[in-house]
A and B are shown apart, each in its own frame.
Chain A
Protein backbone atom coordinates (compact mmCIF):
# COMPACT_ATOMS: atom_id res chain seq x y z
CA UNK A 1 0.00 0.00 0.00
CA UNK A 2 1.43 3.33 -1.05
CA UNK A 3 0.03 6.39 0.68
CA UNK A 4 0.29 9.84 -0.76
CA UNK A 5 3.99 9.49 -1.48
CA UNK A 6 6.06 12.44 -2.63
CA UNK A 7 9.65 12.16 -3.83
CA UNK A 8 11.75 15.02 -5.16
CA UNK A 9 15.11 14.90 -6.90
CA UNK A 10 16.25 18.46 -6.33
CA UNK A 11 13.59 20.45 -8.13
CA UNK A 12 12.20 17.52 -10.09
CA UNK A 13 9.06 16.04 -8.63
CA UNK A 14 9.47 12.34 -9.42
CA UNK A 15 6.50 11.14 -7.37
CA UNK A 16 3.70 13.62 -6.83
CA UNK A 17 1.29 12.39 -4.16
CA UNK A 18 1.15 8.87 -5.49
CA UNK A 19 -1.39 6.51 -3.96
CA UNK A 20 -2.08 2.91 -4.75
CA UNK A 21 -2.80 -0.40 -3.17
CA UNK A 22 -1.92 -3.95 -4.03
CA UNK A 23 -4.09 -6.83 -2.93
CA UNK A 24 -2.52 -10.04 -1.77
CA UNK A 25 -2.13 -12.54 -4.60
CA UNK A 26 -2.82 -10.19 -7.47
CA UNK A 27 -0.71 -8.89 -10.31
CA UNK A 28 -0.77 -5.13 -10.31
CA UNK A 29 0.41 -3.58 -13.55
CA UNK A 30 2.28 -0.30 -13.23
CA UNK A 31 2.22 1.41 -16.56
CA UNK A 32 3.78 4.59 -17.77
CA UNK A 33 6.12 6.14 -20.33
CA UNK A 34 9.82 6.82 -19.79
CA UNK A 35 10.42 9.09 -16.84
CA UNK A 36 6.96 8.57 -15.38
CA UNK A 37 8.42 7.68 -12.02
CA UNK A 38 7.89 3.92 -12.09
CA UNK A 39 11.40 3.00 -11.02
CA UNK A 40 11.35 5.69 -8.38
CA UNK A 41 8.12 4.25 -6.98
CA UNK A 42 9.65 0.80 -6.99
CA UNK A 43 12.81 1.91 -5.25
CA UNK A 44 10.71 3.46 -2.55
CA UNK A 45 8.64 0.27 -2.27
CA UNK A 46 11.79 -1.84 -1.94
CA UNK A 47 13.07 0.43 0.81
CA UNK A 48 15.98 1.72 -1.26
CA UNK A 49 14.93 5.32 -1.24
CA UNK A 50 13.67 7.61 1.50
CA UNK A 51 10.49 9.47 0.53
CA UNK A 52 9.92 13.13 1.27
CA UNK A 53 6.40 12.71 2.54
CA UNK A 54 3.67 10.11 2.69
CA UNK A 55 4.20 6.53 3.73
CA UNK A 56 4.52 3.01 2.40
CA UNK A 57 3.11 0.04 4.19
CA UNK A 58 3.69 -3.60 3.26
CA UNK A 59 2.13 -6.55 5.06
CA UNK A 60 0.99 -4.04 7.68
CA UNK A 61 4.52 -2.83 8.37
CA UNK A 62 6.02 0.52 7.48
CA UNK A 63 8.62 0.29 4.72
CA UNK A 64 11.56 2.61 5.33
CA UNK A 65 15.17 2.39 4.15
CA UNK A 66 17.31 0.49 6.59
CA UNK A 67 14.46 -1.59 8.01
CA UNK A 68 15.43 -5.24 7.64
CA UNK A 69 12.17 -6.84 8.71
CA UNK A 70 10.36 -6.69 5.40
CA UNK A 71 13.23 -7.48 3.10
CA UNK A 72 13.10 -11.23 3.39
CA UNK A 73 9.52 -11.14 2.12
CA UNK A 74 10.31 -9.01 -0.93
CA UNK A 75 11.97 -9.82 -4.21
CA UNK A 76 13.24 -7.13 -6.56
CA UNK A 77 13.80 -7.61 -10.28
CA UNK A 78 15.71 -4.54 -11.35
CA UNK A 79 15.19 -2.74 -14.62
CA UNK A 80 18.85 -3.05 -15.53
CA UNK A 81 20.37 -6.48 -15.62
CA UNK A 82 22.07 -6.73 -12.28
CA UNK A 83 23.86 -10.04 -12.07
CA UNK A 84 27.53 -10.77 -11.49
CA UNK A 85 29.15 -11.18 -14.88
CA UNK A 86 32.08 -13.05 -13.41
CA UNK A 87 29.93 -15.65 -11.66
CA UNK A 88 27.95 -18.44 -13.32
CA UNK A 89 24.17 -18.47 -13.18
CA UNK A 90 24.28 -21.04 -10.42
CA UNK A 91 26.76 -18.99 -8.43
CA UNK A 92 24.68 -15.88 -8.88
CA UNK A 93 21.68 -17.67 -7.42
CA UNK A 94 23.84 -19.04 -4.65
CA UNK A 95 25.00 -15.55 -3.79
CA UNK A 96 21.57 -13.96 -3.76
CA UNK A 97 20.00 -16.95 -2.03
CA UNK A 98 22.77 -16.74 0.56
CA UNK A 99 22.05 -13.08 1.18
CA UNK A 100 18.54 -14.12 2.16
CA UNK A 101 19.89 -16.62 4.64
CA UNK A 102 19.45 -19.82 2.63
CA UNK A 103 22.13 -22.45 2.87
CA UNK A 104 23.14 -26.06 2.39
CA UNK A 105 20.81 -28.59 0.86
CA UNK A 106 17.85 -26.25 1.03
CA UNK A 107 19.71 -23.62 -0.96
CA UNK A 108 20.81 -26.17 -3.55
CA UNK A 109 17.28 -27.44 -3.92
CA UNK A 110 15.89 -23.93 -4.39
CA UNK A 111 18.59 -23.11 -6.92
CA UNK A 112 17.82 -26.20 -9.00
CA UNK A 113 14.13 -25.39 -8.81
CA UNK A 114 14.65 -21.77 -9.83
CA UNK A 115 16.95 -22.70 -12.71
CA UNK A 116 14.30 -25.08 -13.99
CA UNK A 117 11.64 -22.45 -13.57
CA UNK A 118 13.44 -19.97 -15.83
CA UNK A 119 14.73 -22.74 -18.15
CA UNK A 120 18.39 -22.06 -17.52
CA UNK A 121 19.27 -25.42 -16.02
CA UNK A 122 21.29 -26.42 -19.06
CA UNK A 123 23.35 -23.28 -18.95
CA UNK A 124 23.64 -23.07 -15.19
CA UNK A 125 27.41 -23.21 -15.11
CA UNK A 126 28.07 -20.72 -17.89
CA UNK A 127 28.81 -17.09 -17.18
CA UNK A 128 26.15 -14.56 -18.13
CA UNK A 129 28.43 -12.85 -20.61
CA UNK A 130 27.89 -15.84 -22.88
CA UNK A 131 24.13 -15.51 -22.55
CA UNK A 132 21.69 -14.05 -25.03
CA UNK A 133 19.66 -11.02 -23.99
CA UNK A 134 16.65 -13.16 -23.15
CA UNK A 135 18.69 -15.55 -21.03
CA UNK A 136 20.20 -12.68 -19.10
CA UNK A 137 16.74 -11.31 -18.44
CA UNK A 138 15.62 -14.67 -17.15
CA UNK A 139 18.64 -14.91 -14.88
CA UNK A 140 17.92 -11.39 -13.71
CA UNK A 141 14.46 -12.56 -12.69
CA UNK A 142 15.72 -15.80 -11.20
CA UNK A 143 18.01 -13.92 -8.82
CA UNK A 144 14.93 -12.49 -7.14
CA UNK A 145 13.19 -15.85 -6.80
CA UNK A 146 15.43 -18.27 -4.88
CA UNK A 147 14.20 -16.97 -1.55
CA UNK A 148 10.56 -17.27 -2.67
CA UNK A 149 9.40 -13.77 -1.95
CA UNK A 150 5.78 -13.21 -1.01
CA UNK A 151 5.83 -9.92 -2.86
CA UNK A 152 7.75 -9.70 -6.10
CA UNK A 153 8.52 -6.32 -7.62
CA UNK A 154 9.41 -6.46 -11.30
CA UNK A 155 10.74 -3.37 -13.04
CA UNK A 156 10.32 -3.79 -16.79
CA UNK A 157 11.47 -7.41 -16.80
CA UNK A 158 10.98 -7.83 -20.55
CA UNK A 159 12.79 -4.83 -21.99
CA UNK A 160 14.58 -5.50 -25.23
CA UNK A 161 13.97 -9.20 -25.77
CA UNK A 162 12.35 -11.26 -28.47
CA UNK A 163 8.63 -12.14 -28.33
CA UNK A 164 9.29 -15.77 -27.52
CA UNK A 165 11.36 -15.03 -24.45
CA UNK A 166 8.84 -12.44 -23.48
CA UNK A 167 5.97 -14.88 -23.60
CA UNK A 168 7.98 -17.28 -21.56
CA UNK A 169 8.51 -14.61 -18.92
CA UNK A 170 4.85 -13.63 -18.92
CA UNK A 171 3.84 -17.25 -18.43
CA UNK A 172 6.29 -17.54 -15.54
CA UNK A 173 4.86 -14.45 -13.93
CA UNK A 174 1.39 -15.91 -14.14
CA UNK A 175 2.47 -19.19 -12.65
CA UNK A 176 4.16 -17.33 -9.80
CA UNK A 177 0.88 -15.60 -9.13
CA UNK A 178 -0.91 -18.94 -9.19
CA UNK A 179 1.38 -20.05 -6.41
CA UNK A 180 0.25 -17.12 -4.33
CA UNK A 181 2.94 -14.54 -4.99
CA UNK A 182 1.79 -10.93 -5.07
CA UNK A 183 3.37 -9.16 -8.02
CA UNK A 184 3.93 -5.58 -9.04
CA UNK A 185 4.65 -5.65 -12.74
CA UNK A 186 6.04 -2.56 -14.40
CA UNK A 187 6.09 -2.11 -18.10
CA UNK A 188 5.51 0.27 -20.89
CA UNK A 189 4.11 -2.45 -23.07
CA UNK A 190 0.32 -2.26 -22.96
CA UNK A 191 -0.27 -5.75 -24.28
CA UNK A 192 1.76 -7.28 -21.50
CA UNK A 193 -0.06 -5.55 -18.73
CA UNK A 194 -3.40 -6.13 -20.39
CA UNK A 195 -2.60 -9.81 -20.67
CA UNK A 196 -1.51 -10.54 -17.12
CA UNK A 197 -2.53 -7.83 -14.70
CA UNK A 198 -5.54 -8.04 -12.43
CA UNK A 199 -5.49 -4.29 -11.95
CA UNK A 200 -3.52 -1.45 -13.46
CA UNK A 201 -2.08 1.81 -12.21
CA UNK A 202 -1.18 4.30 -14.91
CA UNK A 203 1.53 6.79 -14.12
CA UNK A 204 2.63 9.87 -15.96
CA UNK A 205 5.06 12.56 -14.88
CA UNK A 206 5.01 11.51 -11.27
CA UNK A 207 1.24 11.21 -10.98
CA UNK A 208 -0.82 8.07 -10.66
CA UNK A 209 -3.36 9.29 -13.18
CA UNK A 210 -5.72 6.34 -13.23
CA UNK A 211 -6.19 2.94 -11.69
CA UNK A 212 -8.58 0.04 -11.85
CA UNK A 213 -9.10 -3.18 -13.76
CA UNK A 214 -8.41 -3.07 -17.48
CA UNK A 215 -12.15 -3.12 -18.21
CA UNK A 216 -12.86 -0.35 -15.74
CA UNK A 217 -10.21 1.82 -17.28
CA UNK A 218 -11.46 1.19 -20.76
CA UNK A 219 -15.00 2.03 -19.72
CA UNK A 220 -13.88 5.25 -18.19
CA UNK A 221 -12.84 6.74 -21.45
CA UNK A 222 -15.30 8.01 -23.97
CA UNK A 223 -14.30 5.84 -26.86
CA UNK A 224 -15.57 5.43 -30.36
CA UNK A 225 -16.13 2.06 -31.85
CA UNK A 226 -14.36 1.41 -35.08
CA UNK A 227 -15.20 -1.23 -37.67
CA UNK A 228 -13.15 -1.87 -40.77
CA UNK A 229 -14.77 -3.67 -43.66
CA UNK A 230 -13.24 -5.08 -46.77
CA UNK A 231 -15.88 -5.30 -49.47
CA UNK A 232 -16.05 -6.69 -52.99
CA UNK A 233 -17.30 -3.52 -54.61
CA UNK A 234 -18.67 -0.85 -52.32
CA UNK A 235 -20.92 1.67 -54.01
CA UNK A 236 -21.51 5.28 -53.03
CA UNK A 237 -25.07 4.36 -52.31
CA UNK A 238 -23.96 1.71 -49.84
CA UNK A 239 -21.67 4.15 -48.08
CA UNK A 240 -24.54 6.58 -47.75
CA UNK A 241 -26.73 3.82 -46.33
CA UNK A 242 -24.19 3.00 -43.63
CA UNK A 243 -23.67 6.66 -42.88
CA UNK A 244 -27.38 6.95 -42.24
CA UNK A 245 -27.38 4.26 -39.56
CA UNK A 246 -28.08 5.49 -36.04
CA UNK A 247 -24.93 6.17 -34.02
CA UNK A 248 -22.62 6.23 -36.99
CA UNK A 249 -20.43 9.31 -36.88
CA UNK A 250 -18.21 8.86 -39.85
CA UNK A 251 -17.53 6.57 -42.77
CA UNK A 252 -14.29 6.68 -44.67
CA UNK A 253 -13.74 4.93 -47.92
CA UNK A 254 -10.40 3.91 -49.26
CA UNK A 255 -10.63 1.78 -52.37
CA UNK A 256 -12.60 -1.29 -51.40
CA UNK A 257 -12.25 -0.81 -47.65
CA UNK A 258 -14.51 1.17 -45.36
CA UNK A 259 -13.83 2.44 -41.89
CA UNK A 260 -16.97 3.04 -39.87
CA UNK A 261 -16.76 5.06 -36.68
CA UNK A 262 -19.73 4.91 -34.31
CA UNK A 263 -20.49 6.28 -30.89
CA UNK A 264 -19.48 4.22 -27.91
CA UNK A 265 -22.08 1.67 -26.94
CA UNK A 266 -24.02 1.87 -30.18
CA UNK A 267 -23.63 -1.87 -30.78
CA UNK A 268 -23.71 -1.23 -34.49
CA UNK A 269 -21.75 -4.12 -35.87
CA UNK A 270 -24.79 -6.20 -36.83
CA UNK A 271 -26.51 -3.35 -38.61
CA UNK A 272 -23.37 -2.32 -40.43
CA UNK A 273 -22.87 -5.85 -41.68
CA UNK A 274 -26.46 -6.03 -42.88
CA UNK A 275 -26.16 -2.76 -44.69
CA UNK A 276 -22.96 -3.90 -46.31
CA UNK A 277 -24.56 -7.02 -47.84
CA UNK A 278 -25.07 -5.33 -51.16
CA UNK A 279 -21.45 -4.37 -51.59
CA UNK A 280 -20.25 -7.40 -53.48
CA UNK A 281 -19.74 -9.54 -50.40
CA UNK A 282 -17.92 -8.83 -47.16
CA UNK A 283 -14.33 -10.04 -47.46
CA UNK A 284 -13.16 -9.19 -43.98
CA UNK A 285 -14.33 -7.43 -40.85
CA UNK A 286 -12.19 -5.99 -38.16
CA UNK A 287 -13.69 -4.47 -35.03
CA UNK A 288 -11.26 -2.65 -32.74
CA UNK A 289 -11.89 -3.00 -29.08
CA UNK A 290 -10.43 -0.11 -27.15
CA UNK A 291 -7.19 -1.05 -25.41
CA UNK A 292 -5.16 0.32 -22.57
CA UNK A 293 -3.16 2.12 -25.19
CA UNK A 294 -6.25 4.10 -26.05
CA UNK A 295 -6.93 4.74 -22.39
CA UNK A 296 -3.47 6.12 -22.02
CA UNK A 297 -3.74 8.19 -25.15
CA UNK A 298 -7.00 9.68 -23.97
CA UNK A 299 -5.75 10.42 -20.48
CA UNK A 300 -2.46 12.01 -21.38
CA UNK A 301 -2.83 13.01 -24.98
CA UNK A 302 0.31 11.13 -25.88
CA UNK A 303 1.10 7.67 -26.98
CA UNK A 304 2.81 5.41 -24.54
CA UNK A 305 5.42 3.54 -26.46
CA UNK A 306 7.46 6.45 -27.70
CA UNK A 307 5.88 8.86 -25.29
CA UNK A 308 7.47 10.94 -22.63
CA UNK A 309 10.65 12.92 -22.71
CA UNK A 310 13.00 10.03 -23.21
Chain B
Protein backbone atom coordinates (compact mmCIF):
# COMPACT_ATOMS: atom_id res chain seq x y z
CA UNK B 1 0.00 0.00 0.00
CA UNK B 2 2.98 2.29 0.48
CA UNK B 3 3.45 2.68 -3.24
CA UNK B 4 -0.23 3.30 -3.84
CA UNK B 5 -0.46 5.86 -1.07
CA UNK B 6 2.57 7.82 -2.11
CA UNK B 7 1.55 7.77 -5.77
CA UNK B 8 -1.65 9.49 -4.66
CA UNK B 9 0.20 12.02 -2.52
CA UNK B 10 2.63 12.81 -5.29
CA UNK B 11 -0.12 13.15 -7.89
CA UNK B 12 -1.30 16.26 -6.09
CA UNK B 13 2.10 17.75 -5.29
CA UNK B 14 2.74 19.39 -8.64
CA UNK B 15 0.86 22.60 -9.35
CA UNK B 16 0.36 21.71 -13.02
CA UNK B 17 -1.21 18.41 -12.02
CA UNK B 18 -3.57 20.18 -9.68
CA UNK B 19 -4.66 22.46 -12.47
CA UNK B 20 -5.25 19.59 -14.86
CA UNK B 21 -6.80 17.25 -12.34
CA UNK B 22 -8.96 19.69 -10.42
CA UNK B 23 -9.14 23.03 -12.20
CA UNK B 24 -9.69 22.66 -15.92
CA UNK B 25 -12.15 19.73 -15.92
CA UNK B 26 -14.44 21.52 -13.53
CA UNK B 27 -14.33 24.61 -15.68
CA UNK B 28 -15.05 22.48 -18.74
CA UNK B 29 -18.22 21.13 -17.16
CA UNK B 30 -19.68 24.62 -17.26
CA UNK B 31 -19.06 25.26 -20.96
CA UNK B 32 -22.44 25.62 -22.65
CA UNK B 33 -23.90 23.31 -25.28
CA UNK B 34 -23.42 24.79 -28.74
CA UNK B 35 -25.25 24.36 -32.02
CA UNK B 36 -23.69 21.72 -34.28
CA UNK B 37 -22.19 19.86 -31.34
CA UNK B 38 -23.89 16.67 -30.30
CA UNK B 39 -22.21 16.61 -26.90
CA UNK B 40 -21.80 19.73 -24.72
CA UNK B 41 -18.42 21.14 -25.78
CA UNK B 42 -16.86 20.87 -22.35
CA UNK B 43 -17.53 17.17 -22.22
CA UNK B 44 -16.10 16.48 -25.61
CA UNK B 45 -12.96 18.41 -24.71
CA UNK B 46 -12.78 16.66 -21.38
CA UNK B 47 -11.42 13.66 -23.27
CA UNK B 48 -8.30 15.67 -24.09
CA UNK B 49 -7.97 16.72 -20.46
CA UNK B 50 -8.05 13.06 -19.43
CA UNK B 51 -5.41 12.21 -21.97
CA UNK B 52 -3.09 14.95 -20.73
CA UNK B 53 -3.94 14.53 -17.06
CA UNK B 54 -2.86 10.90 -17.27
CA UNK B 55 0.31 11.97 -19.04
CA UNK B 56 1.16 14.55 -16.39
CA UNK B 57 0.69 12.12 -13.55
CA UNK B 58 2.70 9.35 -15.18
CA UNK B 59 5.42 11.82 -15.96
CA UNK B 60 6.55 11.34 -12.40
CA UNK B 61 7.30 7.71 -13.23
CA UNK B 62 9.51 8.75 -16.14
CA UNK B 63 11.21 11.33 -13.90
CA UNK B 64 11.86 8.69 -11.27
CA UNK B 65 13.46 6.52 -13.89
CA UNK B 66 15.68 9.35 -15.07
CA UNK B 67 16.80 10.26 -11.55
CA UNK B 68 17.87 6.70 -10.77
CA UNK B 69 15.15 6.17 -8.18
CA UNK B 70 14.24 2.88 -9.75
CA UNK B 71 17.65 1.55 -8.79
CA UNK B 72 16.77 2.12 -5.23
CA UNK B 73 13.27 0.76 -5.57
CA UNK B 74 14.68 -2.16 -7.53
CA UNK B 75 16.92 -3.03 -4.60
CA UNK B 76 13.95 -3.10 -2.21
CA UNK B 77 11.84 -6.20 -1.70
CA UNK B 78 9.08 -5.24 -4.14
CA UNK B 79 8.69 -6.41 -7.70
CA UNK B 80 8.60 -3.90 -10.52
CA UNK B 81 5.24 -5.34 -11.46
CA UNK B 82 3.85 -4.38 -8.12
CA UNK B 83 5.34 -0.91 -8.32
CA UNK B 84 3.82 -0.20 -11.70
CA UNK B 85 0.44 -1.62 -10.76
CA UNK B 86 0.05 0.21 -7.51
CA UNK B 87 1.04 3.45 -9.23
CA UNK B 88 -1.35 2.77 -12.07
CA UNK B 89 -4.21 1.98 -9.72
CA UNK B 90 -3.62 5.14 -7.70
CA UNK B 91 -3.76 7.33 -10.77
CA UNK B 92 -6.75 5.41 -12.12
CA UNK B 93 -8.53 6.12 -8.86
CA UNK B 94 -7.80 9.84 -9.19
CA UNK B 95 -9.12 9.96 -12.74
CA UNK B 96 -12.22 7.87 -12.05
CA UNK B 97 -13.09 10.06 -9.08
CA UNK B 98 -12.67 13.03 -11.37
CA UNK B 99 -14.92 11.33 -13.96
CA UNK B 100 -17.65 10.98 -11.35
CA UNK B 101 -17.39 14.62 -10.29
CA UNK B 102 -17.40 15.71 -13.90
CA UNK B 103 -20.54 13.77 -14.74
CA UNK B 104 -22.21 14.92 -11.53
CA UNK B 105 -21.49 18.54 -12.43
CA UNK B 106 -22.75 17.85 -15.95
CA UNK B 107 -26.08 16.73 -14.61
CA UNK B 108 -26.31 19.87 -12.49
CA UNK B 109 -25.35 22.23 -15.28
CA UNK B 110 -26.92 20.65 -18.34
CA UNK B 111 -29.73 18.70 -16.68
CA UNK B 112 -31.78 16.63 -19.11
CA UNK B 113 -29.63 17.62 -22.04
CA UNK B 114 -26.93 15.29 -20.81
CA UNK B 115 -28.31 11.86 -21.56
CA UNK B 116 -27.50 8.63 -19.68
CA UNK B 117 -25.02 10.12 -17.21
CA UNK B 118 -24.22 6.73 -15.69
CA UNK B 119 -23.16 5.25 -19.00
CA UNK B 120 -21.28 8.43 -19.76
CA UNK B 121 -19.36 7.89 -16.53
CA UNK B 122 -18.56 4.33 -17.61
CA UNK B 123 -17.24 5.59 -20.94
CA UNK B 124 -15.06 8.20 -19.19
CA UNK B 125 -13.73 5.59 -16.78
CA UNK B 126 -12.80 3.30 -19.66
CA UNK B 127 -11.07 6.15 -21.44
CA UNK B 128 -9.22 7.10 -18.25
CA UNK B 129 -7.69 3.64 -18.19
CA UNK B 130 -6.79 3.94 -21.85
CA UNK B 131 -5.15 7.31 -21.28
CA UNK B 132 -3.07 6.03 -18.40
CA UNK B 133 -1.92 2.98 -20.28
CA UNK B 134 -0.90 5.03 -23.33
CA UNK B 135 1.37 7.22 -21.22
CA UNK B 136 2.68 4.24 -19.29
CA UNK B 137 3.59 2.47 -22.53
CA UNK B 138 5.13 5.63 -23.94
CA UNK B 139 7.26 6.06 -20.83
CA UNK B 140 8.36 2.45 -21.02
CA UNK B 141 9.29 2.53 -24.71
CA UNK B 142 11.10 5.85 -24.66
CA UNK B 143 13.82 5.58 -22.08
CA UNK B 144 15.19 9.06 -22.59
CA UNK B 145 13.18 11.52 -20.59
CA UNK B 146 13.15 14.45 -22.97
CA UNK B 147 12.33 12.34 -26.00
CA UNK B 148 9.59 10.67 -24.02
CA UNK B 149 8.02 14.00 -23.11
CA UNK B 150 8.21 15.47 -26.56
CA UNK B 151 7.13 12.40 -28.48
CA UNK B 152 4.28 11.66 -26.10
CA UNK B 153 2.87 15.14 -25.90
CA UNK B 154 2.97 15.49 -29.68
CA UNK B 155 1.36 12.11 -30.14
CA UNK B 156 -1.36 12.91 -27.62
CA UNK B 157 -2.08 16.24 -29.26
CA UNK B 158 -2.38 14.68 -32.72
CA UNK B 159 -4.59 11.93 -31.35
CA UNK B 160 -6.81 14.40 -29.56
CA UNK B 161 -7.21 16.43 -32.74
CA UNK B 162 -7.95 13.71 -35.26
CA UNK B 163 -9.82 11.71 -32.64
CA UNK B 164 -12.34 14.53 -32.53
CA UNK B 165 -12.05 16.09 -29.09
CA UNK B 166 -12.02 19.60 -30.51
CA UNK B 167 -14.72 19.37 -33.15
CA UNK B 168 -17.71 17.16 -33.94
CA UNK B 169 -16.91 13.92 -35.77
CA UNK B 170 -19.17 14.90 -38.66
CA UNK B 171 -16.84 17.54 -39.98
CA UNK B 172 -14.03 15.03 -40.53
CA UNK B 173 -13.52 13.87 -44.12
CA UNK B 174 -14.10 10.12 -44.67
CA UNK B 175 -10.36 9.49 -44.95
CA UNK B 176 -9.60 11.37 -41.74
CA UNK B 177 -12.45 9.61 -40.09
CA UNK B 178 -10.94 6.25 -40.89
CA UNK B 179 -7.63 7.43 -39.45
CA UNK B 180 -9.48 8.68 -36.41
CA UNK B 181 -10.90 5.22 -35.81
CA UNK B 182 -7.35 4.04 -35.13
CA UNK B 183 -7.19 6.28 -32.07
CA UNK B 184 -8.96 5.49 -28.82
CA UNK B 185 -10.15 9.10 -28.72
CA UNK B 186 -12.52 8.53 -31.60
CA UNK B 187 -14.20 5.78 -29.64
CA UNK B 188 -14.81 7.95 -26.63
CA UNK B 189 -16.40 10.63 -28.80
CA UNK B 190 -18.34 7.95 -30.62
CA UNK B 191 -19.59 6.54 -27.33
CA UNK B 192 -20.63 10.01 -26.15
CA UNK B 193 -22.42 10.79 -29.40
CA UNK B 194 -24.19 7.44 -29.32
CA UNK B 195 -25.44 8.16 -25.82
CA UNK B 196 -26.51 11.70 -26.70
CA UNK B 197 -28.39 10.60 -29.77
CA UNK B 198 -29.94 7.63 -27.99
CA UNK B 199 -28.19 5.45 -30.60
CA UNK B 200 -28.02 1.66 -30.54
CA UNK B 201 -26.62 0.08 -27.40
CA UNK B 202 -24.42 -2.15 -29.53
CA UNK B 203 -22.44 0.85 -30.76
CA UNK B 204 -21.86 1.98 -27.19
CA UNK B 205 -20.67 -1.45 -26.11
CA UNK B 206 -18.42 -1.62 -29.16
CA UNK B 207 -16.81 1.73 -28.27
CA UNK B 208 -16.28 0.60 -24.72
CA UNK B 209 -14.72 -2.65 -25.87
CA UNK B 210 -12.35 -0.87 -28.25
CA UNK B 211 -11.19 1.54 -25.52
CA UNK B 212 -10.55 -1.30 -23.11
CA UNK B 213 -8.69 -3.27 -25.77
CA UNK B 214 -6.45 -0.27 -26.34
CA UNK B 215 -5.92 -0.06 -22.60
CA UNK B 216 -4.95 -3.72 -22.29
CA UNK B 217 -2.61 -3.60 -25.29
CA UNK B 218 -0.77 -0.55 -23.97
CA UNK B 219 -0.67 -1.93 -20.45
CA UNK B 220 1.05 -5.05 -21.68
CA UNK B 221 3.71 -2.91 -23.29
CA UNK B 222 3.92 -0.53 -20.32
CA UNK B 223 4.30 -3.08 -17.56
CA UNK B 224 7.31 -4.56 -19.30
CA UNK B 225 9.34 -1.59 -18.33
CA UNK B 226 12.49 -2.67 -16.57
CA UNK B 227 12.87 -0.75 -13.38
CA UNK B 228 16.62 -0.65 -13.04
A interface residues, Cβ below 8 angstroms from B = 43, 46-49, 66, 68, 71-72, 74, 76, 78, 80, 82-87, 91, 94-96, 98-101, 143-144
Contact = CB atoms under 8 A, between A and B. Distances in A.
Given A48-B228, A87-B9, A71 B77 contact: yes
Contact of B71 (A76, A84, A95): A76
A101 B71 contact: no
A87 B6 contact: yes
B75 A71 contact: yes
A95 B2 contact: yes
Q: Give the interface SS of chain A, mostly helix, strand, loop or mixed.
A: loop
B13 A71 contact: no
B68 A80 contact: yes
A43 B71 contact: yes
B78 interface: yes
Which 9 residue pairs are nearest across A and B when measured between Cβ atoms?
Answer: A98-B2, A71-B77, A99-B76, A76-B75, A86-B13, A80-B68, A48-B228, A46-B75, A82-B68
B46 to A, nearest CB: 26
A72 B77 CA distance: 6
B33 interface: no
A96 B72 contact: yes
B14 interface: yes
Interface of B: 1-3, 5-6, 9-10, 13-14, 60, 64, 67-69, 71-79, 228
Given A86-B14, A99-B78, A100-B77, A143 B6 contact: no
A195 B71 CA distance: 29
Given A86-B13, A101-B77, A91 B72 contact: no
B108 to A, nearest CB: 34
27 contacts: A43-B228, A46-B74, A46-B75, A48-B71, A48-B75, A49-B228, A66-B79, A68-B79, A72-B77, A82-B69, A83-B69, A84-B64, A85-B67, A86-B10, A86-B13, A91-B9, A94-B2, A94-B6, A96-B76, A98-B1, A98-B2, A98-B6, A99-B73, A99-B78, A100-B76, A101-B77, A144-B72
